[in-house]
């Protein structure tokens, strides 16, 4: 996986990481729709529906991640790493990587230039009163250089609000 590219639509929120099953951990909880053809980190899901669970990295799929500011990468953020001495609380759909990253299996729907992610309210402990933003980014996996994060943001292409101010609110559909 070293050097593997990850493309993402990332939605930072003001939800606490505990809302999706992480323990108390400092950082920004974000939902991401990602595509990374070099590896598959959703071992419970068969997104391409071909009967194989280990070949779907290139299909848009979802992750919850906990982000932290990180000046080791040009994009300024990375996914919080789990240290060897840590005893983290992780969601049951955590893919086993040493990161605060979850593979919840939320549906990703693309239609024209729209991308939608269906997140049932019960999967965020019923919370509907939260704010978010949206951005597009290039991330990269690093397993060889201890001076860089394991999963860092190397480029932010666009931010919906322009300033990551989390101005958007959840719209529920009945």
Report helix, strand or coil for 92: coil
Residues 27-39: pLDDT tens digits? 999 999 998 665 5
How many beta carbons lie within 10 A of that of residue 87, not counting itself? Answer: 7
Residues 42-88: pLDDT tens digits? 565 666 666 765 655 556 789 999 999 999 999 999 999 999 888 99
Asked if 99 contacts 80 with a C-beta cutoff of 8 angstroms, the reply is yes
CA–CA separation, 113 and 137 (whole Å): 16
How many beta carbons lie within 10 A of that of residue 111, not counting itself? Answer: 7
pLDDT of residue 49: 63
pLDDT of residue 85: 87
Host H or E run for residue 13: none
Q: Which residues pair with 80 in a beta bridge?
A: none
* Res. 17: pLDDT tops 70: yes
């Amino acid at each position: 996986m070293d050097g593997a590219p990850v493309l993402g639509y990332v939605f930072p929120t003001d939800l606490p990481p505990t809302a999706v099953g992480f323990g108390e951990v400092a950082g920004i909880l974000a939902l991401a729709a990602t595509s990374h053809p070099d590896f598959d980190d959703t071992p419970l899901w068969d997104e391409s529906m071909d009967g194989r669970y280990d070949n779907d990295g290139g299909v848009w799929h979802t992750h919850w991640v906990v982000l932290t500011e990180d000046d080791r990468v040009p994009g300024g953020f990375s996914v919080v790493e789990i240290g060897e001495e840590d005893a983290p609380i992780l969601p049951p759909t955590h893919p086993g990587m040493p990161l605060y990253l979850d593979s919840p299996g939320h549906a990703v729907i693309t239609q024209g230039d729209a991308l939608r992610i269906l997140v049932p309210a019960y999967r965020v402990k019923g919370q509907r009163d939260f704010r978010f933003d949206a951005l597009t980014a290039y991330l990269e996996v690093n397993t060889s250089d201890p001076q860089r994060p394991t999963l860092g943001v190397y480029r932010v292409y666009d931010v919906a609000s322009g300033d990551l101010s989390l101005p958007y609110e959840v719209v529920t559909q009945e």
